[in-house]
Copies of this chain bind each other. A is one copy, B any other.
């Protein structure tokens, strides 16, 4: 059952993803959630706290399963990772990447957003690094500076999503990913 709080979290994330935090209207969120204002203030102290909760909880939930295979697999780490990268069905090139969007909009404006996004982006990098470390461990890849390579990969992915958003052409994302994989493959 979707609780009132759930409705608010979902509507807030969607509204913030679409219009940014500053562009997100509380009235629109409430209308979308079908929740009254006073009810919302029962669950959250203010708009900002609700948005921070929506971002953190939604992204954590999304990533919970996404990288599970790193712990369960015993081989084929890179193949699975490449498959993930190529899967455009999980991407929304119109709105872009939720993480990147909020970093861009809020990191230099608000300390609480900055702290949260630093943690989320850091987790993204850590997840990629874990894949690379596993690949090296099972000799699918030569040892290298995985921290740096993970940084490079995350940067390029975010840039690829941005390029597709800017051009309105999903193929741009695919092209960048191809070149990125080529780059990783040279390290095997």
Contacts and interface: CB of A to CB of B under 8 A. Distances in A.
Contact of A121 (B95, B121, B167, B186): B167
A151 B176 contact: yes
Interface in A117-137: 117-118, 121-122
Interface string A80-94: 000000000000001
A175 interface: yes
A121 B166 contact: yes
Nearest to A156: B156
B117 A23 contact: no
B165 A152 contact: no
Nearest to A163: B155
A112 interface: no
A109 to B, nearest CB: 6
Interface of A: 18-20, 22-23, 94-96, 100-101, 103-105, 107-109, 114, 117-118, 121-122, 148-149, 151-152, 154-160, 162-163, 165-168, 172, 175-176, 179-180, 183, 186
B154 A105 contact: no
Nearest to A21: B23
A104 B100 contact: yes
Contacts of A163: 121, 151, 154-155, 158
A138 to B, nearest CB: 23
User: Which residue among A18, A159, A172 has the maximum number of chain B CB atoms within 10 Å of its CB?
Assistant: A159
10 contacts: A94-B108, A100-B104, A105-B105, A118-B168, A152-B175, A154-B159, A155-B159, A156-B156, A156-B159, A159-B160
